[in-house]
Amino acid sequence: MTITSGETLPTIAVTKVTPSGAEATDTHSYFAGRRIALFSVPGAFTPTCSAKHLPGFIDKAAALKAKGIDEIACTAVNDAFVMAAWAKSANAGEAVTMLADGNGDFARAVGLVQDSSKFGMGERGRRYSMIVNDGVVEVLNVETPGEFNVSSADYMLGQLER
């Protein structure tokens, strides 16, 4: 079952990847007491994710933070090493924190998985964005498969301006 607005995120182990290294954490600790813009991509280094999704959040980081977002995070069913390499290649710096969901535990727990076997990628997280306030989902934007509209930084910024 897919998580919905108003629900609390389940506590799942993830790896936080920053410019200074990787550290084990869990979703309860990471989201506690802060308002986080979280977006999920099917995979690091994949075409739409690398050309549009991650760059959009990097470019709009200051504008999102000006609207009350404390941190921007990207999650994917990739290991911490891949997420770190992707952040470095995209010059994410301090703008976007990577949350590696290497085994897909978080994606499954929130009910947002997709079968990408036909692309040789196995089970992955769906493309979505959400605003999480102190661990509670305020807004959830899930893409129709193959689309990139409602999970973009621009779309989220528009939601924050309402």
> How deeply is 42 buried, as exposed, middle or buried, from its count of CB atoms within 10 A (0-12, 13-18, 19+)?
buried
Distance CA 58, CA 87 (A): 10
Give the active site residue among 38, 41, 49, 54. Answer: 49
Supply 54's token pair.
């991650």
Asked if 75 and 37 count as a contact pair (C-beta separation under 8 A), the reply is: no
Q: Are 76 and 42 a contacting pair, CB within 8 Å?
A: yes
49 catalytic per annotation: yes
Amino acid at 109: A
In the three-class reduction of DSSP (H, G, I as helix; E, B as strand; rest coil), residue 89 is classed as helix
Q: Is 108 exposed, middle or buried (0-12, 13-18, 19+ CB in 10 A)?
A: middle
Phi then psi dihedrals of residue 141, to 5 deg: -125, 105
Catalytic site residues? 49
